[in-house]
Chains A and B, each alone.
Chain A
Amino acid sequence: QKEVEQDPGPLSVPEGAIVSLNCTYSNSAFQYFMWYRQYSRKGPELLMYTYSSGNKEDGRFTAQVDKSSKYISLFIRDSQPSDSATYLCAMRPGNTGKLIFGQGTTLQVKP
């Protein structure tokens, strides 16, 4: 079993839709949870970061962590074509621990 599981998609939605991206994990020691966005042929860039459980909102993006269920989510409201990318969840047990990535979900937002 992989430490972090993420549905690879691809996920295709119309512009303006609400998008839900999810990851599950098995290591209860994970404390830091991140979402990276990776455009085609580019390196990943940090989109959202959450420590422990709870929600965090940044503009159209909301990150949720449910440690009891070992489940994290990224919601994108009013999705735009420019949101078309691969979204990677990542997590680590401490701020110096090894960062473990999910496989990435490829999202396409159609105009």
Chain B
Amino acid sequence: DAMVIQNPRYQVTQFGKPVTLSCSQTLNHNVMYWYQQKSSQAPKLLFHYYDKDFNNEADTPDNFQSRRPNTSFCFLDIRSPGLGDAAMYLCATSRTSGNTGELFFGEGSRLTVL
């Protein structure tokens, strides 16, 4: 089945130790998103790629970076995780033409910062 796959599902890191989360998709969607979701809060958009064009949200901290080496893969790098970065990180994809703009989500990567 076509899907959005995130790895790892659970990541534990130490304060300040860099972390990379990965996302792959078999949907061949041209848009990929990274959201941060803290407990009992709405998912918060960090950035998205429209094809190779990177779009950063104004309030996304510099500590967060992303790479999209090809259509299928996208990475979220947290350079120096703080305690406040502990959250579920959701990757999502969508197509931009001829549809509702529905987002397809992966199962998320839950980050714990010690």
Q: How far is the CB of B104 from chain A (nearest CB, A)?
A: 8
Tell me the interface secondary structure of chain B in the complex: loop
Q: Which residues of B contact A41 (CB under 8 A)?
A: 88, 107-108, 110
Q: Which residues of B contact A92 (CB under 8 A)?
A: 101
* Known A42-B107, A44-B105; contact A51-B100, beta-carbon cutoff 8 A: yes
Of B12-20, B35-43, B64-72, B76-84, the segment with at least 4 beta carbons within 8 Å of chain A is B35-43
Measured in the bound complex, the distance between the Cα atoms of B41 and A100 in whole Å is 12
Q: Which residues of B contact A49 (CB under 8 A)?
A: 100, 102
Measured in the bound complex, the distance between the Cα atoms of B44 and A75 in whole Å is 25
> CB of A95 within 8 A of chain B?
yes
17 intermolecular pairs with C-beta atoms under 8 Å apart? A34-B102, A43-B90, A43-B92, A43-B105, A43-B106, A45-B105, A46-B102, A49-B100, A49-B102, A95-B99, A95-B101, A96-B101, A103-B40, A103-B41, A104-B41, A104-B42, A106-B40
The residues of B with any CB-CB pair to A shorter than 8 Å are 4, 6, 40-43, 45, 88, 90, 92, 96, 99-108, 110
The residues of A with any CB-CB pair to B shorter than 8 Å are 4, 6, 8, 32, 34, 36, 41-46, 49, 51, 88, 92, 94-104, 106
